[in-house]
Amino acid sequence: MYVTGAQWVLPGLYRDHFPLLHPDKDGKMVHYLDNSATTQKPEILIQATSFFYQNFNANVHRGVYGLAAQATQAYENVRAAVARFIKAPQAQEIIFTSGATESLNMVANWMGQALLKKGDEVIVSMMEHHANLVPWQQQCARSQAKMVAWLPNEKGELDLDRLQSLITKETRVIAVTHVSNVLGTVNPIREICALAHQHNILVVVDGSQAVAHIPVNVEDMDCDFYCFSAHKMFGPTGLGILYGKKDLLNQVTPFRFGGEMVDIVTFEESSFMPLPARLEAGTPNMAGVYGMGATLNFLKSVTYDAIYLAEQKLMHHMFQLLERMEGIKLLGQASERVPVFSLLFEDMHPGDVAQVLDQMNVAVRAGYHCAMPLHRYYQAGNGSLRVSLAFYNNQEDLEALEEGLKKARKLLVR
């Protein structure tokens, strides 16, 4: 276990619960340091998904027979569990989507259609993932609204004074990430919402990178919309969440039309169901939702307090590692952060370094991490090498990373 003193020992919290991280019969294992792209899955989720198919599989909200009723009940139980998990006041405020990308597009699409008009302004932070940037570009073009960039400071933090100076009478929406997938910065969403709401501005938050690291309380933050993907929080792929305040969600125009979301349909026209069905057309990812319930139970037993402590140790260790290395610059030095580190090299290309690391079974991401404007802003034309950690990462992972970085220098720098 963890030993205090000069030597930091990182056991990897609940690592045994993640089958993909187990060593193979030859003792080889993947050092998975790409958790911002997707997190690994706990055994309990893998089992729950197959349990659903073996025991509960029937389409939800349709059949009157017992199996369909059971499947529907299980599905709705998870909606309520998600609401409790992020402290949403009502289960109806949780919409299941295919991922954060769909959630964000659904909100932007509605705003572009119904809210934004010529001359309006949408403030988008420069640290957004393309999923919270491109939809706004599209909707601003459609409605002739203007996108205004909120630039981070040199530490990689978004500063509220700067936001205040960007707000005008025309500002309608602020789109901002809770946690940056490149810099690791945790943004002050509560304060952003408080300022925005003084000016009747809506706040759309991309929570994709927050949920694996910090507890989310949408009521306390008072955000209008909060979007994230289950697969980034040890949950299933193909499942996203859109949280919205009920009065706003009630106004959101459906993004998809079809079965499940309609009430009365004639050949000429249709009326729609109330929330949440109105925004969930078609057969949803039922097994994924069921599995998500298992993941939430798992995270409850892990606890965010334990995650915080494990990640503080990982960060400390990672900073020490970086200090020992030559020729590396860290993108972003925010004081509130999670263990996501994007590295720039004086004399190596991040893509080449990632290849050397791959030879040592160290999985990291090289490139722009779907945040090209941010890399351009920080003049990181070649992109960066991202090491993104989760609570199950351990000492061996970081040792393999360090060894790999040293090997890359030996091979690539003359």
Enumerate residues 6+ apart whose C-beta is below 8 A from 45.
Answer: 234, 235, 236, 291, 292, 294, 295, 298
CB of 285 vs ligand PMP, minimal distance in Å = 13
Q: Segment 268-307, which members bind ligand PMP (CB under 6 A)?
A: none
By CB under 6 A, residue 74 contacts ligand PMP: no
Q: Applying CB under 6 A, what is the total number of residues that bind ligand PMP?
A: 14
CB of 196 vs ligand PMP, minimal distance in Å = 19
Stretch of 97-105, 192-200, 263-271, 286-294 contacting ligand PMP, by CB under 6 A:
97-105
Q: Which two tokens stand for residue 206?
A: 């991309």
Stretch of 23-31, 129-137, 316-324, 391-399 contacting ligand PMP, by CB under 6 A:
129-137
Backbone angles phi, psi at 26, to 5 degrees: -95, 5
By CB under 6 A, residue 79 contacts ligand PMP: no
Stretch of 69-77, 126-134, 383-391, 402-410 contacting ligand PMP, by CB under 6 A:
126-134
By CB under 6 A, residue 100 contacts ligand PMP: yes
With beta carbons less than 8 A apart as the criterion, state whether 268 and 291 touch: no
Q: Segment 207-226, which members bind ligand PMP (CB under 6 A)?
A: 208-209
Q: Segment 23-42, which members bind ligand PMP (CB under 6 A)?
A: 36
- Decide whether 97 or 394 has the Cβ nearer to ligand PMP: 97
CB of 34 vs ligand PMP, minimal distance in Å = 10
- Rounded Cα gap, residues 187 and 334, in angstroms: 9
Number of H helices, E strands in the chain: 13, 15
Q: Mark whether 370 is an active-site residue.
A: yes
31, 129, 172, 386: which one contacts ligand PMP (CB under 6 A)? 129
Dihedral, CA atoms, 309, 312, 316, 318, nearest 10 degrees? 110
Enumerate residues 6+ apart whose C-beta is below 8 A from 323.
Answer: none
The β-bridge partners of 122 are 147, 173
CA 288 to each of CA 37, 65, 77, 101: distance values in angstroms, whole numbers, following the listed order:
18, 22, 13, 17
Residue 315 CB-density burial (10 A; 0-12 exposed, 13-18 middle, 19+ buried)? middle
Query: Given the rule CB under 6 A, which residues bind ligand PMP?
Result: 36, 99-101, 129, 131-132, 177, 181, 206, 208-209, 229, 370
Write out the catalytic residue numbers.
370
